[in-house]
Structure formats: C-alpha cells, structure tokens
Amino acid sequence: MTTLAQTHDALLLDLDGTVYLGGQPIDHVAPALARAAVLGARSVFVTNNASRPPTEVAQALTSMGVAAEPDDVLTSPQAAAAMLAERHPAGAKVLVIGAPWLEESVRQVGLEPVRLAEENPVAVVQGHSPDTGWRNLAEGCIALRTGADWVACNVDSTLPTDRGMLPGNGSMVAALVAATGLHPRVAGKPERPLLDAAVRQVGSSRPLVVGDRLDTDIACAVGASTPSLMVLTGVSTATDLLAADPDHRPTYVAFDMRGAQAPRRLRFQCPLRIEVPMCRNRMPDARLARRSPVEGGDDLIKD
C-alpha cells in the first residue's frame, strides 16, 4: 500500500511541537524522517522563527539526531525579505525591527537595512527579537506614518519557551497596529509566502505540510490548497481538531511523525480514540470517544 512519503516528494515541516518540543526531540521523529527520505520525501524545515539563521537551525536539528543541512531550512525572515525585494528596488532602505538574522536577510536580497526612521526607509520589516523595546517600535511607528511599506515575519501572538508561552512577534506587531491603524503584509504561516518560498527552494511538485497547529500550519496548507498532515505532538489537540472550521482541517492526522511513512490508515495507541475520515476538508462522521487501548492492537484513525 502506498505511504504518504511515497505520495509526496517533500515534507514541509514545522519545528516546535512537530520535530522537537521544549528543545528536546520528539519521539520517533528522526527515524521517521530518515525512512521518509528513503521513500522519496525530502525534509524541509519551514519555520516562523525570525531570530535564528538556517545554519543555526540545522546545527540544532543535527544535535538532536535529525539530519538537516542549511539548505533544508527556510525561515520567515527569508520570505519577508523576498517580499520586500519584489516591491522595492535594489539598494532601497528598510527599517529593521528584529534580530540580526532579519537584518542579514534584508541585506542578502540587495536591500539596505537601517534602524532609524530618519534614514527615510521605504519599508519596515518586523520579526521577533527578545531585545525589541519601545524605542525600536517608535522608530517603526514614525516610518509607517510617513507611508513606508510594512512586512511582518509572522503574527504569532505567543512564543513557546521552557518558561511557558511568552509574547511573540504578533504581540509587538499589535502594538504598531494600535499606534498607526495600519496592518502589515505577513510572510509567515498562516499566510502562504513562506510556504511558497519553501516549495520553490526545493522544486517540489507534490509537497505535504506537516505541523501541530491548526491555526498556523494547517490553515496555511488549506490556504495554499496543499495536502497536510497534523501530528498530535504539540499545541493543537484531538478535541481542537473535531471542533475545527473547514479552513483549519488537515488532510491527514497522525499521533506522531510515524504517520508520514504510514498508508492512508494511520495508527496509534492511546486511551483517547479519534476517528476521522481521511479526506480533505470533509469530516462529517468525526467523533470522539473514550476507550482503553486494545491489548495486542492499536486504536485507529480510520479512513
């Protein structure tokens, strides 16, 4: 029987909650992705994270036992910089609110990163940095009020950390929305520029989006008309899935990354039994039931 890894030529993978959690690799991810690669599906790590460059991300993944090269990683600053380069000429000044990697991404596409509104930037680009403060936001506010273009790497309101959920880039973006009445173009998930850039980067014709969040990973896939696999290892739960609107519904569901090398009937063992028809945007018979695991067998996510 054909598996998902044989059907698709690239797995567009979220990181936190999908590949690792709290800085620790999630069980079964490394061998599952290695097997998927053998079956023909390349792993591409697509992240809204705006502070770490691909080299650093690849090194972190490798240290967890997950095979990754810098070319296998695409970050939201790269997608945001590409959006700016499409609209503004080479050498144009862009006010950067964010980490050094965001500044470098702007430079790599031929634009000039600046930090002050008095340098007359044509655009503002905003990404997460733990060092962003009032003065940074004030510079952005001034530039936006003069008519500068505005691109946000992502609008994630929270950021998962080992201390719990903390303010994310979306919270900082919200401050400028409140101050200016304007809204940015968005590069990262759930918008599609980051996903489109990943597909172009690897030349995929049959991608599969893999993630744990219905409101970002899966919503992005639905918006891009791309098949998706939801793994129940991160933020969104089975209960969330059953209550999801059509634009937040995955094509496939699996308990963990082993689903990427499974056939259309995805299996897992868990006291919570979820039965979800495996079809895009249709789950008319979805139901949730408490059940003890069957000794010697698995509970099923059914076709």
Active-site choice (9, 16, 215, 285): 16
**Omega of the bond prior to 70 within 30 degrees of 0, cis?**
no
Q: Which of 84, 88, 122 is nearest to 102 (CA)?
A: 84
β-bridge mates for residue 275, sequence order: 287
Q: Which residue is catalytic, options 14, 72, 156, 217?
A: 14
H helical segments located in the chain: 4-7, 29-39, 54-63, 76-87, 100-108, 134-145, 169-180, 193-202, 219-223, 238-242
Structure tokens at 154: 């992502």
**What is the distance between the alpha carbons of residues 33 and 16, in angstroms, rounded to a whole number?**
15
CA distance 29 to 144: 43
212-232 in b/e burial notation, b at 16+ Cβ within 10 A? bbbbbbbbbbbebebbbbbbb
Q: Is 27 a catalytic residue?
A: no
Query: Any catalytic annotation for residue 71?
Result: no
Structure tokens at 171: 């919270």
Cα(179)–Cα(167) distance, integer angstroms: 18
- Residue pointed to by tokens 């340098």: 119
Compute the CA torsion angle 249, 251, 254, 258 (nearest 10 deg): -140
Between CA 200 and CA 129 the distance in angstroms is 27
Point out the residues that are catalytic.
14, 16
